[in-house]
Amino acid sequence: MSKKRAISSIISILFILIVVFLDQNGKVLDKFDKNYERSFYFENCEKNSTQLFDVVDVSDGDTITISKDCKPTTVRLIGIDTPETVDPRKPVQCFGKEASEYTKINLKGKKVQIETDEMQNTYDKYGRLLGYVILEDGTNFNQRLIEEGYAHEYTYKTPYRYQKEFRTAQASAKDNEKGLWAIGVCE
């Protein structure tokens, strides 16, 4: 092999390595880091220095996706359960579509805080972050879902921080026949 051909081959290999290991901003990618994750939806995202997160998707009434450190993070709301709409093992339940729509209207595209609970695990068995969604005005959205009749109080194994408030909210929603508690809605 001639010297020119060897040098040309080395330059080609170096060029390919540079292209493969640099992202579009010229930063070296760490593809060997086990936490490396890249999503085209989050390429232009700036890391969050505050505690407000963008809600980028709503799966159903009690499960959302936020942008956390420029990565999609699924959040399961603590202390509530809304009727099912997306579980492939179950039919769509009464008032499920309404609960999902209510959550979409109120959260998608908005900024929220996520409050975890030291009395609960940080993540559930499906890898979802467990938390309370706090709106910019300080409203606990989990509790609002119960108050408006889109969810019922749900305790999974152990008590949680707002259990008393959520149970009171559910009793009020039932007494006032709101949402899924309205007469004739889910019979």
Q: Report helix, strand or coil for 127.
A: coil
Distance between CA atoms of residues 27 and 40, nearest Å: 16
Name the residues annotated as catalytic. 76, 84, 128
Categorize the per-residue pLDDT at 169 as very low, low, confident or very high, splitting at 50, 70 and 90. very high
Spans of all domains in the chain: 1-36, 40-181
| Fold designation for 40-181 | OB fold (Dihydrolipoamide Acetyltransferase, E2P) (2.40.50)
List pLDDT tens digits, range 37-95: 333 344 555 554 458 999 999 999 999 999 998 899 999 999 999 999 988 888 999 99
